[in-house]
């Protein structure tokens, strides 16, 4: 297997449907070991459409290039209430990536 799994978390804002299921948003990524490219992504948004949208938004990005482009993508393309939580979750997952990639 040439991939590994990593997760990041962030608090969800009040008034979101997903808050009825989860207190926090979780973003999970499957990354290519060699290049740090996002092979697959998921998150705990309440709707399938929202989860699929985020998956498409994140897939293919190389975390070795940093997190700035992904944050920009979320700000540009995701206009739901969870935008800040998604950005915070990405920052958390990137911090986990940096810990793993330094070893």
Q: How far apart are CA 102 and CA 76, in angstroms?
A: 30
Which of 16-25, 40-49, 58-67, 94-103 has the weakest average pLDDT? 16-25
How much is the pLDDT for 94?
A: 97
Question: Which band of pLDDT confidence, cut at 50, 70 and 90, is reported for residue 76?
Answer: very high
Q: Where are the alpha helices (DSSP H) in 6-67?
A: 48-58
Whole-model pTM over 0.85? yes
* DSSP 8-state secondary structure symbol assigned to residue 29: E
Its CATH class, for the domain covering 3-101, is: alpha beta
Domain coordinates in residue numbering, the chain: 3-101
CB neighbours (10 Å) of residue 73? 15
């Amino acid at each position: 297997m040439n991939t590994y799994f990593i997760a990041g978390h962030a608090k969800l804002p009040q008034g979101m449907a997903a808050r009825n299921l989860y207190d926090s948003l979780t973003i999970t990524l499957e990354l290519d070991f060699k290049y740090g490219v996002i092979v697959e992504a998921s998150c705990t948004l309440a709707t399938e459409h929202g989860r699929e949208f985020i998956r498409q938004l994140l897939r293919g990005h190389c975390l070795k290039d940093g997190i700035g482009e992904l944050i920009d993508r979320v700000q540009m393309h995701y206009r739901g209430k969870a935008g800040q939580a998604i950005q915070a979750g990405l920052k958390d997952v990137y911090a986990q990536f940096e810990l793993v990639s330094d070893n």
